Amino acid sequence: MEKLQLVDYILSAVFIWLAVLTFYFLKVLGAWSKLTKSGKNLNLAQILENIIKQQGQLETKIKNTEEEVKKLGQESKDFFQKHALVRFNPFEDTGGDQSFVIALLNGANNGFVISSLHSRSGTRVYAKRIENSKAVDHEFSKEEKEVVEKAIAKNVK
């Protein structure tokens, strides 16, 4: 009777071991079918070569994309990124803040400022170039200096 129980234990252990091996075999078989799902009769070496080739192509595309993003980042510094508007009343004989000053600056604080002065006799418009947040050819008025400082204060990342 003891021999029969021992044989039962051994057979049970073998059956459990066989079940575990079957489970892992099916798992490996599933992974293999995923690798070879292209439908071509390729061996493992060919499949791995294709994967390595695709990885190299992806690395090249990523490198090109990184270079393009870096290039666009440099170019974007030339675009207008900062702006500000100040309305004011330059003359006591007119009502309201009909006059204004607007500043448009790029990432290097270069750009221009446009001033519009409104009076009863008409409206005049002036423009001044800005380089490194300073007026190039003409001095800033109080309002122009204020609007340029407001535009510079806008931190664009």
Query: What H or E segment, with its residue span, contains residue 102?
Result: strand 99-106
Q: What is the pLDDT of residue 123?
A: 87
68 with 88, same domain: the answer is no
84 with 147, same domain: the answer is yes
9 with 61, same domain: the answer is yes
Mean of pLDDT values over 23-46: 80
60 with 85, same domain: the answer is no
Q: What is the pLDDT of residue 44?
A: 76
79 Cβ neighbours under 8 A, 6+ residues apart: 106, 107
71 with 92, same domain: the answer is no
The domain total for the chain is 2
Per-residue pLDDT of 35-92, as tens digits, reads 777 666 777 788 788 889 999 999 999 999 999 999 998 888 888 889 999 998 877 7
Q: What is the pLDDT of residue 120?
A: 79
Q: What is the pLDDT of residue 94?
A: 65
84 with 145, same domain: the answer is yes
88 with 67, same domain: the answer is no
| Domain enclosing residue 113, as ranges | 80-153
Q: What is the pTM of this model?
A: 0.57
Beta-strand pair 80-88/111-119: unpaired
31 with 11, same domain: the answer is yes
Residue type, 114: I
Q: Which residues pair with 118 in a beta bridge?
A: 123
17-51 as b/e, with b when 16 or more CB fall inside 10 Å? eeeeeeeeeeeeeeeeeeeeeeeeeeeeeeeeeee
131 with 103, same domain: the answer is yes
Boundary residue ending a domain (75, 101, 135):
75
Per-residue pLDDT of 98-124, as tens digits, reads 899 999 999 888 999 999 988 878 889
Q: What is the pLDDT of residue 38?
A: 64
* Phi, psi for 26 (deg, rounded to 5): -65, -35
Length of the chain (residues)? 157
Boundary residue ending a domain (32, 54, 75):
75
Q: Tell me the Cα Rg of the chain.
A: 38
